[in-house]
């Protein structure tokens, strides 16, 4: 099944690239500002471009991953702690407000508060992109745990700590994973925007530079690198999710063997 889905995805990408090539070469849309994908691909044979791309990609990657990792760890840890202590209903309205704010809306405010700092600004923006949604998702995941399953486990003799470890926590984390996947991608987008707006390094800065000089093929190459990165990120997180599903939900049921006499 995975092989079929992968072939389907590759086929759709191939159709898209062929259509783009045709439109950029043989229709009225053809002009220097709308290069075909073969022209964009040629930019990756330019060693100077590759060096510039590699350096700026490194900046973006460090910023996005650092902010996301901090937001993920803080969001899950705080969400679990608040849910375990019964304080989630008190914090949820605040988490909802911050969750509703678009992450890029923080960038102008961060510039005012922090100034244009090459690392602190984008990392903080990435953190604020990931922390509120992960916290909100974690709190709601615990609130929607299967109460019937918990009650049955307790009746069968499970200790509360076992119920938390083997039922509530796995269920909650499985519900949080889709949020994590979405925010991992959004962290890259937020850092990209912050680099476009305020910084002098990173993929966003590089995109703005090529835009100002009308080097559209180079600009599209930068955008394609960002797109491929997010696709690889999603694929990697999908694999992690599949592993966790097999580990937590694919084994023997707790009702058959875990807590019985």
| 26: pLDDT strictly greater than 90 | no
Q: Is the pLDDT of residue 192 over 50?
A: yes
Can you say whether residue 202 is alpha, beta or left, with left for phi > 0 and alpha for psi between -120 and 50 degrees? left
pLDDT band at 157 (very low <50, low <70, confident <90, very high): low
**Which position has the token pair 């950029």?**
24
Average of per-residue pLDDT across 212-237: 92
* DSSP result, 120-136: HHHHHHHHHHHHHHHHH
**CA dihedral sign of residues 198, 204, 205, 210:** negative
Q: Which of 37-46, 60-69, 77-86 has the lowest mean pLDDT?
A: 77-86
- What is the pLDDT averaged over residues 216-241? 91
If pLDDT is split at 50, 70 and 90, which confidence band does 140 have? confident
pLDDT at 239: 85
Give the tens place of pLDDT for each residue, 176-188.
888 888 899 999 9
8 Å CB contact between 133 and 99: yes
What token pair was written down for 56? Answer: 């700026």
> How far from each other are the two terminal CA atoms of the chain, in whole angstroms?
39
Question: What number of CA atoms fall less than 13 Å from residue 242's CA on the CB side?
Answer: 7
Architecture of the domain made up of 46-258? Orthogonal Bundle (1.10)
pTM above 0.85, yes or no: no
Nearest to 221 by CA among 50, 55, 16, 65: 50
Structure confidence at residue 251 (pLDDT)? 43
Predicted confidence at residue 253, as pLDDT, reads 40
* pLDDT reported for residue 48: 94
Task: Report the C-alpha gap between 68 and 127 in whole angstroms.
Answer: 5
- Tell me what the mean pLDDT of segment 112-118 comes to: 89
The per-residue pLDDT for 202 is 95
User: Does residue 1 register a pLDDT over 50?
Assistant: yes
Residue 162 has pLDDT above 70, yes or no: no
52: pLDDT strictly greater than 50: yes
| Domain ranges across the chain | 46-258
Half-sphere exposure in the Cβ direction for 209 (13 Å, CA): 16
Q: How far, in Å, are 71, 91, 103, 141, 168 from residue 79 at the CA level?
A: 12, 9, 20, 9, 13
Residue 257 pLDDT class (50, 70, 90 cuts): very low
Comparing 78 with 163, the larger pLDDT belongs to: 78
Q: Give the mean pLDDT of the chain.
A: 84
């Amino acid at each position: 099944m995975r092989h079929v889905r992968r072939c389907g995805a590759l086929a759709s990408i191939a159709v898209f690239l062929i259509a783009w090539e045709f439109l950029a070469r043989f229709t009225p849309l053809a002009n220097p500002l709308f290069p075909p994908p073969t022209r964009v691909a040629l930019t990756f044979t330019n060693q100077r471009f590759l060096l510039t791309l590699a350096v700026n990609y490194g900046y973006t990657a460090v910023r996005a991953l650092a902010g996301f990792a901090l937001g993920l760890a803080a969001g899950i840890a705080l969400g679990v702690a608040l849910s375990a202590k019964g304080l989630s209903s008190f914090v949820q309205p605040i988490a909802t407000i911050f969750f509703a704010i678009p992450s890029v809306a923080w960038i102008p405010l961060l510039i005012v508060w922090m100034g244009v700092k090459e690392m602190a600004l984008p990392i903080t923006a990435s953190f604020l992109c990931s922390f509120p949604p992960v916290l909100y998702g974690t709190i709601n995941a615990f609130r929607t745990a299967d109460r019937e399953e918990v009650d049955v486990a307790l009746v069968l003799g499970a200790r509360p700590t076992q119920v938390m470890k083997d039922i509530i926590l796995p269920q909650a984390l499985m519900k949080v994973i889709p949020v994590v996947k979405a925010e991992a991608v959004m962290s890259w987008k937020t850092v990209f925007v912050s680099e476009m707006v305020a910084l002098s390094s990173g993929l966003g800065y590089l995109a703005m530079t090529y835009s100002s000089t009308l080097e559209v093929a180079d600009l599209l190459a930068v955008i394609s690198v960002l797109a491929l990165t997010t696709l690889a990120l999603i694929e990697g997180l999908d694999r992690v999710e599949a592993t966790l599903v097999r580990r937590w939900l694919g084994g023997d049921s707790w009702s058959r063997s875990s807590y019985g006499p």
